[in-house]
Amino acid sequence: MLKKMSIVTILYDGQQYFDRAIPSILNQTYSDFEWIIVDDSSTDATPQLLAEVALQDVRIKVLSPGRLGFTKSLNYPIENTQTEYIARQDFDDTICPEQLCLQI
């Protein structure tokens, strides 16, 4: 079953920010979403940490298409999603628990 919303996050060397976006997104009051995280060839522990997070929540999909740069990395998942809505979330930012609900 397709989700109603895709959240797209582009990430490069984001190890230091794992305590921000992840709880912010996963604790949303609206839960009918998939979270597509594009790792743009991180050189720190980001790929391993993303793999661990993806195992803990089926809504998280990690894509690693290689070094594309920000714009191409953003378009990569958008071109391949079939959800009704797309939201973009920076990995070093947080949102209020009702944000997705309000956007829908």
- pLDDT above 80 (res 2): no
pLDDT digits (tens, 9 = 90+) for 64-89: 998 988 888 888 888 878 899 999 99
DSSP character at residue 87: E
Q: What pTM was computed for the model?
A: 0.90
Residue 1's pLDDT is 59
Answer whether 5's CB lies under 8 Å from 104's CB.
Answer: yes
**What is the phi/psi pair of residue 5, to 5°?**
-135, 145
Joined tokens for residue 88? 């973009």
- pLDDT above 90 (res 96): yes
Joined tokens for residue 53? 């997070």
